[in-house]
Amino acid sequence: MTNFLPESASFAKFIGTLKGSSVLVLGHRRPDGDCIGSQVAMTRMLRTQGIKAVAVNQDPVPRTLRKFLGDTPFSEPEGIGTDNYKIVTVDCADHARVGEELKIRFPEVFLNVDHHVSNTQFAEHNFVLPDASATGEILAKFFFDSELGIDQITAEALYLGICTDTGQFCYSGTNAAVFEVCRRLCLAGCNPSMVAHELYEREKPGRVQLLQKFLASFKMEFNDRVCIGHVRESFYRETGTKPEDAENFVDYARSLEGVEIGVLVEDRCGKIKGSFRAKDKKYRVDLLAKKFEGGGHACAAGFNVTIPLEEFYPDLVEEIGKHLEVVQKEGF
Ligand code: 5GP
Ligand code: MN
């Protein structure tokens, strides 16, 4: 038996205590591949243990990720009954990330499995492993170590989380253990080219038009070390797209030679969703996002603020400037 993680035994113990309970597996707002994949995997694994489990999200499952649900029970908040649910969160750095409504409705979290360095350890039992590339990687390791059932849909869901959160096996968290886990997931039935096809070969023309507008918005700051692009509310209308279609656009801002931090700001009805992506961990963009009440990882972080884009831009540039100075002087 492989032993990927020392925490696996205690994870399996807590799963055992859920027998006889009804469980809701919650993900975060604007769910991404790792969120959906981890919810699918956790829900299915609980069900193999005879535990009544349903995945629930405040926001809908993005179009490109729907294929990965298989027959996993997935519900909107309105569809949940009134059982005395035990709550499990996956890929959520803090309790508020599940969405305000779900947080108020379910104030107590039993289990929190996540890989964000900024995780606030808000549950009764917290499995937060910031060295993991994805929550999917943590779950895969727990499942393999404890020989918890992995069917084809679970294997593909876990691979989906790892593939998307490593930027298709490019980011710094990509290491031998990640490939070992993925090898095992392939043996359990995952088909990587099918996953890649679903994720990257089903673009809608509108999304490509949205990307054109985003690329045209690029502004270079700090001697071209920072590239900031924006998406306005009107861009969605003009291209017939939705905010979920801007997923991963920020990677283009980071991809330019010489750029150290790529930034995406999305303007939605006077609210802004921001994303930071750094090429190196030393930039600690999770701390930069924290200045705007956000968080995330050293190389990938986000935030939400309520302020019009024009007013926000100077503040954003100023905070990035201060942050770059701290990185240069002190490092982290
Ligand atoms: P993205 O830029 O793709 O939305 O998010 C990048 C990373 O930062 C993800 O791991 C995400 O969970 C985290 N993140 C994004 N927005 C927020 C936020 O408002 N608060 C916190 N704590 N984390 C966020
Ligand atoms: Mn993740």
pLDDT in tens, 86-98: 999 999 999 999 9
* Mutational pocket test of ligand 1: of 114, 303, 304, 305, the residue with most ligand atoms within 8 Å of the beta carbon: 303
For residue 97, the CA-to-ligand 1 centroid distance in Å is 9
pLDDT tens string 126-143: 999 999 999 999 999 999
Atom of ligand 1 nearest to the CA of 250: 2
What pLDDT score was predicted for residue 2? 73
- CATH 3.10.310.30 residue ranges of the chain are 205-329
Report the chain's mean pLDDT, rounded to a whole number.
96
Residue owning the nearest CA to atom 22 of ligand 1: 295
Ligand number, closest to the Cα atom of 92: 1
Q: Which amino acid is at 271?
A: K
Q: Where in the chain is the domain with CATH 3.90.1640.10?
A: 8-200
CA of 38 to the centre of ligand 2 (A): 9
Report how far residue 91's alpha carbon sits from residue 161's, in angstroms, rounded to the nearest whole number: 10
Q: Name residue 23's beta-bridge partners.
A: 53, 86
- Helical (H) or strand (E) element with 121: none
Q: What is the CB < 6 Å shell around ligand 1? A: 28, 93-94, 116, 118, 275, 294-297, 300-304
C-alpha 319/C-alpha 316 separation (Å) is 5
> Are the C-beta atoms of residues 274 and 266 closer than 8 Å to each other?
yes
How remote is the CA of residue 303 from the centroid of ligand 1, in Å?
A: 6
Write down the pLDDT at residue 324.
97
Pick from 49, 59, 56, 54: nearest CA to 22:
54
> Residue 332: what pLDDT?
67
Q: What angle do CA 29, 229, 221 make, to 5 degrees?
A: 125
Residue for token pair 């499942």: 143
Span from the CA of 36 to the centroid of ligand 2 (angstroms): 10
Question: With contact defined as beta carbons under 8 Å apart, do 231 and 214 qualify?
Answer: yes
Compute, in angstroms, the gap from residue 19 CA to the centroid of ligand 1. 32
Q: Where are the beta strands (DSSP E) in the chain?
A: 22-26, 52-56, 74-75, 86-90, 111-114, 125-128, 219-221, 226-231, 261-268, 271-278, 295-296, 300-306
The Cβ of residue 316 has, within 10 Å, a number of other Cβ atoms equal to 24
Q: Which tens digits make up the pLDDT trace of 179-191?
A: 999 999 999 999 9
How far, in Å, is the centroid of ligand 1 from the Cα of 93? 8
Starting at the edge strand found earlier in the chain, the sheet holding 52-56 runs 74-75, 52-56, 22-26, 86-90, 111-114, 125-128
Contact 142, 148 (CB under 8 A): yes
The predicted-structure confidence for 228-256, as pLDDT tens digits, reads as follows 999 999 999 999 999 989 999 999 999 99
Residue 45 corresponds to which tokens in the numbers above?
């694994």
Residue 303 alpha carbon, nearest atom of ligand 1: 19
Confidence at 8, pLDDT banded by 50, 70, 90? very high
Identify which ligand lies nearest to the alpha carbon of 119.
Answer: 1
Say what the pTM is: 0.91
Q: Which CATH class is domain 205-329?
A: alpha beta
Give percent above pLDDT 70 in the chain. Answer: 99
Eight-state DSSP code of residue 297: -
How many Å apart are CA 129 and CA 283, to the nearest integer?
20
52-56 and 261-268 beta bridge pairing = unpaired
Q: Which ligand is nearest to the CA of 287?
A: 1
Q: Which atom of ligand 1 is the closest one to the Cα of 247?
A: 3
| Nearest ligand (C-alpha, residue 34) | 2
Write down the pLDDT at residue 331.
73
Q: Provide mean pLDDT across the span 281-307.
A: 95
223 C-alpha vs ligand 2 centroid, how far in Å? 31
Distance from C-alpha of 96 to C-alpha of 101, rounded to nearest angstrom: 9
* Pick from 198, 244, 166: nearest CA to 65: 198
Mutation pick for ligand 1 pocket among 57, 58, 116 (CB with most ligand atoms within 8 Å)? 116
Architecture of domain 8-200: Alpha-Beta Complex (3.90)
What pLDDT score was predicted for residue 38?
99
